[in-house]
């Protein structure tokens, strides 16, 4: 008989998500940030990731920087490609959840049906839709990346809020307002709601 | 002044792979298994994953079960779709490495150019090409899933080894022979070579 100690898994076992949850002592969730360009999705996701990382959890952010230049480099910003973009992000998120990693996605994700697809794919219990709410005027005034200016000049097509719609969530799991509140205040709101659901 | 203890990362920091390596105490690698259907890729990958999991590492297997039905459900087995299949798998692997997860991929991946793409994408230092070597006759005799029989009967098209080529690696990082050796012996060979490279 093999001398496996109590917590050691035998080599012929196929690891499942539950093995990781048991060991890691937290439950991975998909934290889906949605909002206009410049609303603060990435800043919030990044701050929340650090919070969970500091608790010893495994975390990862999917955003334009690591997705649009790689996996989805073959896609543009037409409605159909936006849908395929979100489909792939949702499928990759599902893999990360299976691997025991808390996933934070920071994409405009303007279409309700695409966000609903993601929710359904990973299951309602594993999904938090986080609406980073900030009026277009405020986002456009911030214009951190200069994208709104270019969109207004017609140099960028299909820009959400300008010539492409944003379907705001009607009933998100969490809504934070970054026009009236600091990132730190919004972060604390997120932590208050999400943290209890991530604890194993 | 905030009372951050030495190892706590401030909220405005954007996490990088190195933060994860520092904390997790191992270096994530992409362990790319290639070989004919029935050669033993999945069994070996699964056993190796358990080995690393038992060391406390974060691991994940990408294989047909979790990729073909999800992210790559839109692809078939034509040469061009096989290439796109591997491209996406390589891109997803890169994300997992960035997230600090050891990735084991178990796909036939019959084309040298596709495996080379994966190697180049994540970098040679992060990549192990593992050739699970087993003669076609042996794989076909095992025929665990009954696929060779169907391919011979023409019920499956583009089946590697039958009517689609397998370009065996000429210079893999590791080659194990599963026709002459048990899974356990092959596993020990893999551990001997890979484990020192994963230790931080």
Show the CA angle centred on residue A197, arms to residues B24 and A18, nearest 5°: 60
Q: How many CA atoms lie within 13 A of A15 on its CB side?
A: 31
* Average pLDDT of chain A to the nearest whole number: 94
Which residues of A are catalytic, by number? 109
Share of chain B above pLDDT 70, in %: 97
How confident is the model over B125-181, as pLDDT tens digits?
A: 999 999 999 999 999 999 989 999 999 999 999 899 999 999 999 999 999 999 999
**CA separation for the pair B200, B190 (Å, rounded):** 18
B111: in domain:
yes
Do the chains contact at A101 and B101, CB–CB below 8 Å?
Answer: yes
- Residue A156 confidence (pLDDT): 93
Give the DSSP letter string of chain B: -----TTPPPTTPPP-HHHHHHHH-B---EEEEE--TTSSHHHHHHHHHHHHHHTT--EEEEEHHHIIIIITTT--SSHHHHHHHHHHHHHHHHHHHHTT-EEEEE-----HHHHHHHHHHH-GGGEEEEEEE--HHHHHHH-TTSHHHHHHTTSSSS-BTTTB-----SS-SEEEETTTS-HHHHHHHHHHHHHHHHB-
- Mean local confidence (pLDDT), A119-147: 96
Q: What is the number of structural domains in chain B? A: 1
Give the three-class secondary structure for A97.
helix
What lies within 8 Å, CB to CB, of B112 at 6+ separation is: B167, B169
Within-domain flag for B66: yes
Q: Does B1 map to a domain? A: no
Q: Round to whole Å and give the CA distance between A168 and A132.
A: 10
Average pLDDT, chain B: 94
The closest alpha carbon to B199, from B3, B27, B22, belongs to B27
Q: How far is CA B125 from the centre of its chain?
A: 15
- Two tokens, residue B160: 């590697």
**Residue in A49, A54, A183 to test binding to B, most B beta-carbons within 10 Å:** A54
Q: What does the block give as tokens for A10? A: 């035998």
Q: What percentage of chain B has pLDDT greater than the value 90?
A: 88
Residue numbers in B near A56 (CB within 8 A)? 23
Binning pLDDT at 50, 70 and 90, where does residue B4 land? very low
Range of the domain at B171: 18-197
- Which residue from B112, B105, B110 is spatially nearest to B126, judged by alpha carbons? B105
Tell me the pTM: 0.94
**Percentage of chain A exceeding pLDDT 90:** 88
How many whole angstroms separate alpha carbon A190 and alpha carbon B107?
39
Q: Does A114 touch chain B (CB under 8 A)?
A: no
pLDDT, tens only, A8-50: 888 888 999 999 999 999 999 999 999 999 999 999 999 999 9
Helix spans in chain A (H): 17-24, 41-54, 64-66, 79-98, 112-122, 136-142, 147-152, 183-198
Q: Which residues of B touch A184 (CB under 8 A)?
A: 11
Is A105 a residue whose pLDDT tops 80? yes
- Chain B residues in contact with A11 by the CB 8 A cut-off are 47, 50-51, 184, 187
Sheet with strand A30-34: strands edge to edge: A59-63, A102-106, A30-34, A127-133, A174-177
| Residue A63: C-alpha distances to residues A34, A53, B26 (Å) | 11, 18, 25
Residue A114's alpha-carbon distances to A91, B68, B87, in angstroms, are 12, 20, 24
Inside any domain, residue A55 = yes
| Contact across the interface for A95 and B13, Cβ inside 8 Å | no
Residue A199 has pLDDT above 70, yes or no: yes
Instruction: Extract the tokens encoding A127.
Output: 């999904």
- With H, G, I as helix, E, B as strand and everything else as coil, classify residue A141: helix
Please report the pLDDT score of residue A6 as a whole number.
57
CATH number for B132: 3.40.50.300
pLDDT of B6 reads 57
What pLDDT, on a 0 to 100 scale, did the predictor assign at position A41? Answer: 97
Q: Are A134 and A177 in contact (CB under 8 A)?
A: yes
Residue B50 lies in a domain: yes
Pick the closest to residue A170 from A120, A141, A136, A131 (CA basis).
Answer: A131
Query: Looking at the predicted structure, is the pLDDT value of residue B5 above 60?
Result: no
Model confidence at A78, in pLDDT bands (50, 70, 90)? Answer: confident
Please report whether residue B7 resides in a domain: no
pLDDT tens sequence across A168-188: 999 999 999 999 999 999 999
Is residue A9 included in any domain, yes or no? no
Nearest to A58 among B10, B58, B88 (CB): B58
Residue A110 belongs to some domain of the structure: yes
**Residue pLDDT, tens place only, B23-32:** 999 999 999 9
Q: What are the chain A neighbours of B60 within 8 Å (beta carbons)?
A: 95, 98-99
Pick from B42, B72, B81, B88 the residue to mutate for testing the A interface (most A CBs within 10 Å): B88
Angle value at C-alpha A189, between A184 and A192, nearest 5 degrees = 120
pLDDT score at B200? 78
What is the per-residue pLDDT for B78? 87
Say what the ipTM of the complex is.
Answer: 0.94
pLDDT of residue B89: 98
Does position A2 have pLDDT exceeding 50, yes or no?
Answer: no
pLDDT in tens, A49-72: 999 999 999 999 999 999 999 999
């Amino acid at each position: 008989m093999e001398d496996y100690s109590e917590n050691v898994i035998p080599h012929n076992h196929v690891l499942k998500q539950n093995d990781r949850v048991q060991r890691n002592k937290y439950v991975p969730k998909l934290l889906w940030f949605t909002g206009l360009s410049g609303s603060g999705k990435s800043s919030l996701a990044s701050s929340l990731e650090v919070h969970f990382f500091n608790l010893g959890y495994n975390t990862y952010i999917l955003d334009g920087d690591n997705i649009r230049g790689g996996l989805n480099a073959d896609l543009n910003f037409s409605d159909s490609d936006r849908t395929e973009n979100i489909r792939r992000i949702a499928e990759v998120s599902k893999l990360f959840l299976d691997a025991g990693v808390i996933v934070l996605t920071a994409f405009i994700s303007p279409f309700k049906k695409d966000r609903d697809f993601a929710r359904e794919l990973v299951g309602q219990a594993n999904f938090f839709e986080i609406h980073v709410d900030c009026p277009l005027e405020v986002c456009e005034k911030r214009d951190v990346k200069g994208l709104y200016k270019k969109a207004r000049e017609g140099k960028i097509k299909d820009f959400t809020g300008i010539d492409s719609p944003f379907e705001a969530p009607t009933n998100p799991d969490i809504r934070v307002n970054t026009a009236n509140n600091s990132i730190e205040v919004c972060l604390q709101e997120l932590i208050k709601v999400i943290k209890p659901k991530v604890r194993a």
